Structure formats: C-alpha cells, structure tokens
Structure 1
Amino acid sequence: MRVYYDRDADVNLIKGKKVAVVGYGSQGHAHANNLKESGADQVRVALRPGSKTAEKVKNAGLEVATPDDAAKWADVVMVLTPDELQADLYRDHLAPNMRENAALAFAHGFNIHFKLIEPRPDLDVFMVAPKGPGHLVRSEYSRGAGVPSLLAIEQNASGNAHEIGLSYACAIGSGRAGVIETTFREECETDLFGEQAVLCGGLSALVAAGYETLVEAGYAPEMAYFECLHEVKLIVDLMYEGGLQNVRYSISNTAEYGDYQSGKRIVSPQVKAEMKKVLEEIQSGEFARNWVLECQAGQPNFKAERRRWAEHDIEQVGEKLRGMMPWLAEGKLVDKTKN
C-alpha cells in the first residue's frame, strides 16, 4: 500500500486548473472551500438552475454555474452529487459538454465500478475519496489538519492523471494526513460493506435493538438512550484514537469481562455469515441493481424507511435529552445554514 503526503505532490498542478465542483452538499461544500483556501482561485460550483443552495455558495465567495456551463469551462470536473443522480448528470450534462482531455473525478467509486457511467476515452478519470464526512473534511482543514483520502485512477488519458489527482487530494487537506493509493473496485466494495454491515446499518440496528430491549424490559427510555446511544461516542472516540485495545485499557475490568463474554454472543457466527452474504451481494452488483431500481421507482421503500426511523421512540427521547446538553451545539460538525 502506497501512502503519499504533501511533500510528494505538486499542489500547483491543481492551482493552475479550472475546477468545477458539482454539488454543494457535505462533500461539495468542503472540497470547494478547501480548494479555494489552498490557492486554487479558479473554482466554480455547479448547481441545477434555480437551486436554493446557490445563496450559500455565493455567501462563501464562490462562483455558481450550471452543470452544462461548468463542464464547458472546467479542466477538472469533480462530481459530488448523490450516487443515484450521477449517471443521468453525466449523460445529459457533462459528457456532451466536457472539454477534450479534461479530467472527470469522483469521491466514491459506485458509478464507475458498476459501469453506470462509462466515461469518454479522452478523459482522465480519478477518485479522491476522503475517509470522513465532508463536514469533518472542512473542519479538520480549517484547523490546519486533514482527513486521509483514497486515490484511484481509472483512466489515464493524459498520462498525468495520478499527479493531478494527488495534487487535488492535497489541496483539500488530505496530504497532511495521508493519501492512500487504491482502486475504484476496492474503495467501492469495502465502503459499501463498511456502511451496511458496521458503520450505518450494523450500528444503527444494534443501538435500536439495545434501546428496545431495555425499554421493553421496563427500564426508563432515558436510561436506555444514555446506555445504548449517547455513550457510543465515548467508546468510538477511544477506538478512533487507539483501536480496540485502547477501549479495553480505558474501561473497567467488569466492562472488559462483559465485552469478552457477551460480544461474541451478539455478533455470533450467524451474524458473520450474514455479513458475508451482504459482501457477496455488493460484489456481484446485486445491491447496486436493487438501488438503481429503487431510485427508478421513485424510492418508495427508501423514503418509507426514512420516515419510520424518524418516528422511532429513540429519536423522540434523544431530542429531548440533547436539549438538556447545550454543549453539544458548540462546534458541531453539521451546520445546515452553510452546507
């Protein structure tokens, strides 16, 4: 595994390019502002005509353009819209307008790996994928640090795609922490698996199941919330800082003994077997096909699940308890007025 840092890159490469950042959500906001503050003074944010987000972009001192106009103008087009929108965006707005020998970039390998987008052969195609949400990419950069990124090259039409991608990664702050070389396939499949089996699907289901178990046994919902959701951050911060052993060093012997005795019962061999099935569905493209079909149908199941989880008792109890902890709002990562 090759890891690059600021000293390995020529950040002037991206400073000399016209860069279009398509989308201004979590990642788009971070990339565009970090690029600008790194000295890339030719950055435009591409938004659909009439987008309400345009005001936020202008308030940040950035230029707004339509995807069509941005594609005609840019040397590098970084696509940071939701995965499900990217194929149509490329087909209808980017491919017909992108300049010959320009570069097409992504922060996730989904559409390229599963061939939902098949780029023109004259384009460089690279990926710079920060290993953290955009709000963290922005906040770490602002304090002089950075979030590690993955770098992958799919097409190297210019012979310089790697150097341009590395320069871009350093300009958003990742060269301060490390830029790790990978492939679109490896990033995409491991990212989807991590999200589904552990970070999002696995953790959310575990937290909710623990909360429901305590409440159904007659314990106060507030106690269940603190034990099964609120304190997750305390453990994850220790894990983030120094791995699993850092957690076990920091907790009581009683908690550590319970870890060894009960953890393997919760995440049993049957659970691991299901994880393997989840990975197989990702590798085969079954998950991608199902998600594309869900989007083509208007996302009925996705939206129903989103509503169901928003109405879960743990969210109602949590909102009340978080209102008692004003320090949570200080320096929060997500500020919807800016991104």
Structure 2
Amino acid sequence: MAKIYTDEEASLDPLEGKTIAVIGYGSQGHAQAQNMRDSGCEVIIGNPRGDEFWEKAESAGFDVYEISEAAKRGDIIHMLIPDEVQAKVYNEQVAPAMGSGKVLGFSHGFNIHFKEIVPPRDDDVIMIAPKAPGPSVRESYEEGSGVPGLVAVAQDSSGEAMDVALAMAKAVGLTRIGVIETSFEEEVETDLFGEQSVLVGGVSEMIKAGFETLVEDGYQPEVAYFECLNELKLIVDLIHKQGIEGMMRAVSNTAEYGGRTRGPRIVDEDTRKEMEKLLEDIKDGSFAKEWITENQRGAPNLKEMREEAEDHLIERVGKEIREWSDIEG
C-alpha cells in the first residue's frame, strides 16, 4: 500500500531560515516559486539574464540572479528547467556551489536516475513532483486547494531529507491533496512509460489512426475530427471524475458494448508486447541515451517530426473547426 502524506504529516519548520533558489521560471518554476513564497518561504529565482522569464520573475516581485549566483545564495537549489538542459546547467553553473550540505531538488528524476547529474555525497537530493501542469498547480493553490504529487529522496546525507521534501511539498500545496512516497527510479520509469505508451504517444497515434481510417474511406474530415478527437475530452473528463467504469455507465449502452467488445481488438496482445518493449527501453537506459544524443545533435529528428505533424490534415481541419467554434460560441 502506498504511503500518502497530507498536511497533518508535513511541517514547514525545516524551511525556516532557509533560502530556496528556484532555477527556472517557466511552467513549473513560476507556480512552485509563487506558491512557496505565499506559504511564507524565502524564495529567489535563478535564470539566464535578460530573457522573458527573468522579466516575468522580476515583475512578480522576486529577486532574480544568474543561475550560478542563485545557487551560491540558496540553501535549497530546486532545478525546474527542462530535462535536456539540466545536466549542462548543473555542471557549469550549479555544481561549483554544491558540496556544503545543500539540498538539491527536482520535480522529475530523469537526470539523477540516469546519472547525467551526480551530486556530491554530502548533499541531500530530493524530489517533489506535482502531477499537474504549472498553471494548474498555481490556480488550485490560489483557490485554497492543491494538486496531488509524488515525493522522493535519492540522497539523505543529513538524515532530514524527507522532512525537507515534505515541507516543500506542503509549501507548494501538494499535501493539501496528498503526496505519494516513491523513488526516483519509480517516478522516472513510470512517467516516461505513461507519456510514451498512453498519454502523449499512444493517444495521439490512436487519434490520428482513427481519423485517417474514416477519411480514407470517404467520410468528411470535419465529422471524423469530431468523432476521433473532439469528443475525447468529454470521455477523459468522465474518466477523471468517475473512473473508467463511471465513464462506461455515463455513455450509451451501444457505446459501452462496442467499446468493451472492440477495444481489446485495438489494444491486443501485440500492443501489450510493444508496451513491454517500450518499458524495457526505459529501464535499461536506451531511451535516455537516445534522447540525450538527439539533443546533443540539436534535436533534428524532433524538429522534422514537428514539421510533418503540423502539415497533417487533422491539424488543418482542427484549426478551422476551433476557429468556427470560437465564432459560433
């Protein structure tokens, strides 16, 4: 059974007198920094000088420093910049400030788990991972609620790393709902698998395959768009609120029967075997190596895939329908 911590089991005391240096002021950076500040924490921002995020952080009233300076000033250094640049930034700008009993924090364990970042052994390494995009993390906090999350410790030199992690989770508002204790390994491997097989990769390919099947058989692209993409939000909302069986009860008997009998023909044993291969690629580091190499080369494959996807019929039809819906709505 998972260990879940809530507000009653977390205290802000471990953060008293500590400066939290949030590195990056993007989606998660702005949300977590503002939430922690509103919870009474001392928060500064580390960011490249002069870009839009520097200006946004200053406009929000934060003291903003170059990353190397923020790392020196921070007792807790919370890395909220993209995975693909974390290792370079850490090695060049953060590492010189480490080694003195500081706390290094993350919201995704990619670079720690795959050893792209190797902190000194006398520093604590923790993770608080909100299971929601940054804007939702901020909005829910302002409404007096929060989003669920994960909490983990990779290094506990001080013996107090979990206390600090829970304090940060509470400051961000995660313990208002609950944080599940996990490990960096479990967080990384399940996160990557979920993105690739279901949330980003699987769903996107399923949508396009269904759309293409209908259009190639002569059906109107606009109708295919509604059936294979637009209505998906309604189904996901039902699943989110009521679970899969709650969704089944909410749709028509015809939809339920068709889904229960035909769904396994789409996601069959071959699909499940391919999922197992994806998971193995994640666990043995093959995907991480591929992604790191892709970025070192300037992400040419990713850029090409983005260009091809933008030209897909479903994107052109979708843009027209969204514009029409906005006008009509």
TM-score range, shorter chain: over 0.9
Task: Indicate the residue corresponding to 1:317 in structure 2.
Answer: 317
Mapped to 2, the partners of 1:12 and 1:326 lie a distance apart of 48
Matched, 1:204 2:209: no
Alignment pair present for 1:246 and 2:255: no
Report the equivalent of 1:335: none
Normalised TM-score (structure 1): 0.93
In structure 2, the partner of 1:130 is 130
- Tell me which residue corresponds to 1:115: 115
How many Å separate the matches in 1 of 2:236 and 2:15? Answer: 35
Q: Residue deviations 1:18-51, cap 9 Å, x none? A: 01111122111111111111121x2112111222
Task: Structure 1 unaligned segments of length 5 or more: list them.
Answer: 330-339
Equivalent in the alignment of 1:45 = 45
Structure 2 length-normalised TM: 0.96
Is contact 2:24-2:53 (8 Å) kept?
no
Whole-angstrom CA distance in 2 between matches of 1:143 and 1:328:
31
Letter in 2 for 1:323: E
Does residue 290 (structure 1) correspond to residue 290 (structure 2)? The answer is: yes
CA contact 1:74–1:99 (8 Å) conserved in 2: no
Counterpart of 2:172, as a letter, is I
Q: CA RMSD in A?
A: 1.6
Report the 3-state secondary structure (helix = DSSP H, G, I; strand = E; otherwise coil) of the residue aligned with 1:324: helix
Aligned mates of 1:282, 1:173 — CA distance in 2 = 30
What pairs with 1:140-151 in structure 2 (closer than 5 Å)? 140-151=140-151
Corresponding residue for 2:69?
69
Quick check: 1:303 aligned with 2:303? yes
Tell me the secondary structure at the aligned position of residue 95 of structure 1.
helix
**8 Å contact kept, 2:98–2:120:** no
Over 3 Å counting, the alpha-carbon distance change for 1:184 and 1:46 in structure 2 is same
SS of the residue aligned with 2:96?
coil
Q: What residue number does 2:23 align with?
A: 22
Deviates more, 1:306-315 or 1:162-171: 306-315
- Once residues 318 and 35 of structure 1 are traced to their aligned partners in structure 2, the CA distance between those partners, rounded to angstroms, is 38
Pairwise CA distance, 1:12: 3.4
Change (3 A) 1:26 1:328: farther
Alpha-carbon distance, 1:63 to partner: 2.0
Counterpart CA distance in 2 for 1:300 and 1:167 is 41
Shift, 1:121, TM fit = 1.2
* Range that drifts further, 84-93 or 95-104: 95-104
Deviations 1:249-307 (A, max 9, x none): 10000000100121011111101110000000000000001111111111100111122
Distance in 2 of aligned mates of 1:212 and 1:312: 10
SS at match of 2:50: coil
Counterpart in the other structure of 2:106: 106
Q: Which amino acid aligns with 1:121?
A: R
One-letter amino acid of the structure 1 residue matched with residue 33 of structure 2: A
Larger displacement relative to structure 2 (139-148 or 277-286): 139-148
CA distance in 2, matches of 1:135, 1:52: 17
Q: How far does the alpha carbon of each residue in 1:174-207 deviate from its partner, in whole angstroms, 9 at most, with x for none?
A: 0111011000000000000000000000001111
* Percentage of pairs with the same residue: 48
**How far apart are the structure 2 equivalents of 1:136 and 1:253?**
34
Q: Is the 8 A contact 2:105 2:125 kept in 1?
A: yes
Matched letter for residue 266 of structure 1: I
Q: Which residue of 1 aligns with 2:159?
A: 159
Which amino acid is the alignment partner of residue 214 of structure 2? L
Distance 1:49 1:294 in 2: 27
Give the distance between the partners of 1:175 and 1:278, measured in 2 at CA.
32
- For 1:328 and 1:251, locate their aligned partners in 2 and report how far apart those are by CA, in whole Å: 26
Paired amino acid for 2:303: K
Contact 1:137 1:147 in 2 (8 A): yes
Q: Is the 8 A contact 1:149 1:174 kept in 2?
A: yes
| Aligned-pair CA distance for 1:129 | 0.7
Question: 1 CA distance for matches of 2:29 and 2:52?
Answer: 15
1:43 alignment partner, SS class: strand
Amino acid at match of 2:211: Y
Looking at structure 2, the residues matched to 210 and 140 of structure 1 have their Cα atoms a distance apart, in angstroms, of 35
1:234 CA displacement: 0.5
C-alpha separation between the residues in 1 aligned to 2:241 and 2:252?
A: 18
The whole-number CA distance in structure 2 between the counterparts of 1:18 and 1:214 is 57
Alpha-carbon distance between aligned partners in 1 of 2:309 and 2:107, rounded to the nearest angstrom: 27
- Aligned 8 A contact 1:74 1:98 in 2: no
Whole-angstrom CA distance in 2 between matches of 1:101 and 1:303: 41
